[in-house]
A and B are shown apart, each in its own frame.
Chain A
Amino acid sequence: MKPNTITIDGKEIPFREGQTIMQVATEAGVYIPHLCHNPEFTPHGSCKLCNVQVNGRTVSACTFPAADSQQVLNDTQELNEDRRTITQMLFVEGNHFCPGCEKSGNCQLQAVGYSLNMLDTHFPHFFPQRNVDASHPDVMLDLDRCILCELCVRASRDVDGKNVFGISGRGIGARLVVNSPSGKLVDSALSVDDKAAQVCPVGAILVKRCGFEVPIGQRVYDGHSVGEVALAKERALAEAEHG
């Protein structure tokens, strides 16, 4: 094998020093399923959808650095079954009712579920009691749908410089919290133009008064798979960065 090359599912792919396996794959047009990863932000590694096998060991592709002679397994039946199970876990720990959700068709969780051939939620639902925060004039927060990817946390901290969101609690009680004395969005520094208001991959953070502007049937994932959409967007970002 040539130096600075890894293989993903047997295909040889060059990498640059400092790249993660996810970055290498994206540039080469290989889709590795993911939810908490978004190339605009520091990698997080919490959803575990992007778990791949590297020389027999399971690692998260979004955080693990590429190195010479790595043989990466990605699109295998076993890994995809695990990913489907993990996606089902995300569905049952929250309250996700796709037919009634504004994000349906634009939702990455839903789209990943489809692409992994997830036909049901499989596990008993937890039906947790979670709150909807509609206090903000322009943005609403429905914690029923939060998957704890922390993209809004990272966006508000690293891009907006506002630290509007954070994570509290522990274990199955972990939850998104808002940085304001009342804990309500209206008393926070969030503005509708913030990156944090735009970045939610599911329907937990929604901008108000633009619901159903794009009709069901014409939405992002109605015409394209999550893999196609992710690669198109993320490759363009990578090219803009590296020329």
Chain B
Amino acid sequence: MSLSDTDLEILQGIVARHGGAATELVQILREVQDRFRHIPRDAMQWLAEALHVPLTRVQGVTEFYSFFSTEPRGCYDLRVSDSITDHMLGSREIAAYLSEKLGVAPGQTRADGVVSLDFTSCTGLCDQGPAGLVNGLALSQLTRERIDRIAELVHAETPLESWPADLFEVADNVRKPGLLLQGGFVWGSAIQKVFERGKEESFGELEISGLRGRGGAGFNTAWKWRFCYEGPEEDSFCPVDKRKVERIVICNADEGEPGTFKDRVLLGSHAHQVFEGMTVCAALVGARQGFLYLRGEYLHLHKPLLEVLEQRRQTGLLGQNILGREGFDFDIKIHLGAGAYICGEESALIESLEGKRGVPRNRPPYPVTHGYLGQPTVVNNVETFAAAAAIALHGGEWWASIGTEKSRGTKILSISGDCDRPGIYEYPFGTTLREILADCGACNPFGVQVGGPSGTFVGTGEFDRRIAFEDLPTGGSFIVFDESRSILDISRNFTHFFAHESCGFCTPCRVGTSLLRNTLDKIYSGHGTPYDLAELIRVAKLIKGSSHCGLGQTAGNPVLTTLERFPELYEKLLKHIEFEPGFDLDGALAVAREMAGRDDAHAHLAQEG
């Protein structure tokens, strides 16, 4: 399409709203996608000129994120979550039903341009699936009855604003609150306490608490903040308030690990505490700018969160001279993601915030000294900031008295899968899987995926293991499987997920995740041999050992951890011949058949084996 005058006006408006800054590219493209239902080539060209960046940058970003498309999507852009937990709740059948009702195949846009259907990675509604998205907004509990209603609304072309609110209802499902979720947090109280204690003593309390990052890697929070405060060596002479470098505080709400949804609840019902944690961090490290990087799948939280931010500005908890403290200026901006799991990796997240492809950076230097636009940057998980606010208020000892030696305090788990009471549970670190499984009402569990696809599969014999950095570290994903589940379905879903989400930067992950997927599919479809199984292990280990970032370094885990425990389940599927070609002889003739206009028996070749 070429751009009309109206189109140009729309684009100019979008760019102007974002101050014409290239760092806003992902945000700008979100609006363009929303308005035009795709990113037209001419719009890319226009944006490149308006933002003074190469066209390849705009194209590169457009084609990186799953929620952007270069072909028009339907007015109703429906996506069904393809996470294992949604599968277990019947998402594939629901998608097929939806496809039939709407007359559009998955991956396609209907000819009349009204509706598109697709699959998407985990949407973070694992406790109330099968879930989906319509134009980015979360749809929960997709039953046949609800699909019928959605199909009718689409058929009548009812504007999304007029769809019944119950379709978009998202429940918190907090089943077991602990130190963080018990509520009662008074806004501003933690900042006030930091002012009373002073900087050094507040750092001291954080250190005593032993708080470690809640995203999964578990870096000591006090150290991270201290490094950022001290800044890179070349700037270490700067006294706190006269620094030439800007400090940045980023809250990582790109909760993309399948099976994790605790940040959704923290941001939905405890946003003040999270923002307060960021503000406490800003006070300690000397930052003036904060960002919340909110995953695109949580679009439904965007407006409420903007309201919370505005409330805090009105009450003097954000903005200039916070709580009357002269010179303490800090504000928080929300950036939305656009469908890329990799942006949960902190340096990829920073790249995305800068309006780029979410490709993890080379490290060192680390974000804490060279982060957003090269500035010293703290990136922490939502739960870490919530905990930091509580620690600032109640002191380090309050937190450290709970948990284990190396894992202090509590951990919020997102529990889903085969259990009676899926939802949010907050446990002291050190709690055994057995206790957790009893609490959530798991019947006949045969395994738990702890930490999502990048974590570990734990079998029946290991239920006395504990949630702790010393034993089973986790960002919070806890998926229960009962005896009816197939281990191959699980590892295959996870392996497909990694191949889909690999950023493509480094060779081992880019090529290796696809090789893993193809080999596993070959075994799954009954064409695998012992040779393929050996290959699977070899490739999984290579990706793990050679990749650029955490995605690749964990992409082999689903295969490796399940194979280690259940080799017989894989072996059962193997053919007992020396070798089975990866090459599909009959499939290779498809083009020839098409060209010859034949599809009779003689135009096909049978394959031995």
Residues of A within 8 A of B (CB): 43, 45-49, 51, 58, 60, 63-65, 82, 85-86, 89-90, 92-93, 123-124, 126, 148, 163, 165-174, 177-181
Candidates B60, B64, B510; contact of A172 at CB < 8 Å: B510
B504 pairs with A63, CB closer than 8 A: no
B515 interfacial by beta-carbon distance below 8 Å:
yes
A124 pairs with B510, CB closer than 8 A: no
Bitwise, B38-60 to A at CB < 8 A (1) or not (0) is 00010001000000001111011
Residues of B within 8 A of A (CB): 41, 45, 54-57, 59-60, 62-64, 340, 357, 362, 364, 499-508, 510-515, 518, 538-539, 542, 545-548, 582-583
Knowing A48-B548, A51-B546, A181-B45, the reply to whether A168 touches B514 (Cβ < 8 A) is no
Contacts of B41 in A (CB 8 A): 181
B362 pairs with A171, CB closer than 8 A: no
10 A-B pairs with CB atoms under 8 Å apart are A46-B507, A46-B548, A48-B548, A58-B546, A60-B548, A165-B56, A169-B504, A170-B340, A171-B504, A181-B55
Contacts of A179 in B (CB 8 A): 54-56
A90 pairs with B362, CB closer than 8 A: no
Knowing A167-B60, A167-B357, A170-B502, the reply to whether A60 touches B508 (Cβ < 8 A) is no
Candidates A123, A172, A180; contact of B504 at CB < 8 Å: A172
B56 pairs with A171, CB closer than 8 A: no
Candidates A82, A92, A177; contact of B542 at CB < 8 Å: A82
Q: Among B45, B504, B545, which residue has the most Cβ atoms of chain A within 10 A?
A: B504
A33 to chain B, nearest CB (A): 12
Contacts of B362 in A (CB 8 A): 43, 45, 60, 63
A64 to chain B, nearest CB (A): 8
In the complex, the chain A residue whose C-beta lies closest to that of B44 is A181
B510 pairs with A171, CB closer than 8 A: yes
CA distance A90 to B505 in the complex (A): 12
B59 to chain A, nearest CB (A): 5
- Nearest 7 pairs of A and B residues by beta carbon: A166-B56, A174-B504, A124-B582, A89-B511, A163-B54, A171-B502, A63-B362
Additional A-B contacts beyond A51-B546, A167-B357 (10; CB < 8 A): A46-B506, A85-B539, A86-B508, A89-B515, A126-B514, A167-B56, A168-B56, A171-B513, A172-B499, A172-B510
Contacts of A171 in B (CB 8 A): 499-504, 510, 513-514
B536 to chain A, nearest CB (A): 12
Contacts of B538 in A (CB 8 A): 85
CA distance A171 to B495 in the complex (A): 13
Candidates A60, A124, A168; contact of B518 at CB < 8 Å: A124
B547 pairs with A48, CB closer than 8 A: yes
B56 pairs with A174, CB closer than 8 A: no
Majority secondary structure, B binding face? helix
B537 to chain A, nearest CB (A): 13
Contacts of B548 in A (CB 8 A): 45-46, 48, 60
B515 pairs with A173, CB closer than 8 A: no
A86 pairs with B504, CB closer than 8 A: no
A93 pairs with B582, CB closer than 8 A: no
**How many A-B contacts if CB must be within 8 Å?**
115
Contacts of B59 in A (CB 8 A): 166, 168, 177
Knowing A166-B57, A168-B60, A179-B55, the reply to whether A46 touches B505 (Cβ < 8 A) is yes
A93 pairs with B54, CB closer than 8 A: no
Contacts of B582 in A (CB 8 A): 124
Contacts of A86 in B (CB 8 A): 507-508, 542, 546
CA distance A93 to B514 in the complex (A): 10
Candidates B63, B510, B546; contact of A168 at CB < 8 Å: B63
Contacts of B518 in A (CB 8 A): 124
Contacts of A85 in B (CB 8 A): 538-539, 542
Knowing A65-B364, A163-B54, A179-B54, the reply to whether A148 touches B504 (Cβ < 8 A) is yes
In the complex, the chain A residue whose C-beta lies closest to that of B582 is A124
A172 pairs with B511, CB closer than 8 A: yes
Contacts of A43 in B (CB 8 A): 362
CA distance A161 to B521 in the complex (A): 45
B501 to chain A, nearest CB (A): 7
Candidates A89, A124, A168, A178; contact of B507 at CB < 8 Å: A89
Knowing A48-B547, A86-B507, A166-B59, the reply to whether A124 touches B583 (Cβ < 8 A) is yes
Knowing A82-B546, A89-B515, A93-B511, the reply to whether A178 touches B504 (Cβ < 8 A) is no
B541 to chain A, nearest CB (A): 9
CA distance A46 to B546 in the complex (A): 11
Knowing A43-B362, A167-B60, A177-B60, the reply to whether A172 touches B506 (Cβ < 8 A) is no
Knowing A46-B505, A92-B511, A179-B56, the reply to whether A170 touches B63 (Cβ < 8 A) is yes
Contacts of A166 in B (CB 8 A): 54-57, 59-60
Contacts of A172 in B (CB 8 A): 499, 502, 504, 510-511, 513-514
CA distance A177 to B55 in the complex (A): 10
B359 to chain A, nearest CB (A): 8
CA distance A181 to B64 in the complex (A): 19
A89 pairs with B508, CB closer than 8 A: yes
Contacts of B503 in A (CB 8 A): 170-171, 174
In the complex, the chain B residue whose C-beta lies closest to that of A153 is B56
A89 pairs with B56, CB closer than 8 A: no
CA distance A51 to B506 in the complex (A): 12
CA distance A168 to B55 in the complex (A): 11
In the complex, the chain B residue whose C-beta lies closest to that of A149 is B507
Contacts of A173 in B (CB 8 A): 63, 504
B583 pairs with A58, CB closer than 8 A: no
In the complex, the chain A residue whose C-beta lies closest to that of B358 is A170
Candidates A48, A64, A123, A124; contact of B546 at CB < 8 Å: A48
B548 to chain A, nearest CB (A): 7
Q: Among A124, A165, A172, which residue has the most Cβ atoms of chain B within 10 A?
A: A172
Contacts of A48 in B (CB 8 A): 506-508, 546-548
Candidates B499, B507, B512; contact of A47 at CB < 8 Å: B507
A174 pairs with B542, CB closer than 8 A: no
A205 to chain B, nearest CB (A): 15
Contacts of B507 in A (CB 8 A): 46-49, 86, 89-90
Contacts of A58 in B (CB 8 A): 545-546
A86 to chain B, nearest CB (A): 5
Candidates B55, B64, B512, B547; contact of A169 at CB < 8 Å: B64
B52 to chain A, nearest CB (A): 11
CA distance A43 to B518 in the complex (A): 32
A155 to chain B, nearest CB (A): 14
B504 to chain A, nearest CB (A): 3
B134 to chain A, nearest CB (A): 23
Contacts of A65 in B (CB 8 A): 364
In the complex, the chain A residue whose C-beta lies closest to that of B363 is A63
Q: Among A60, A123, A126, A148, which residue has the most Cβ atoms of chain B within 10 A?
A: A123
CA distance A231 to B500 in the complex (A): 38
Q: Among A43, A48, A181, which residue has the most Cβ atoms of chain B within 10 A?
A: A48
B545 pairs with A82, CB closer than 8 A: yes
Contacts of B340 in A (CB 8 A): 170
Q: Among A43, A86, A171, which residue has the most Cβ atoms of chain B within 10 A?
A: A171
CA distance A167 to B63 in the complex (A): 10
Contacts of A181 in B (CB 8 A): 41, 45, 55
Contacts of A46 in B (CB 8 A): 505-507, 548
CA distance A123 to B511 in the complex (A): 11
CA distance A14 to B362 in the complex (A): 24
CA distance A46 to B545 in the complex (A): 14
CA distance A126 to B545 in the complex (A): 23
Contacts of B64 in A (CB 8 A): 168-170
CA distance A92 to B500 in the complex (A): 18
A170 pairs with B511, CB closer than 8 A: no
Contacts of A180 in B (CB 8 A): 55
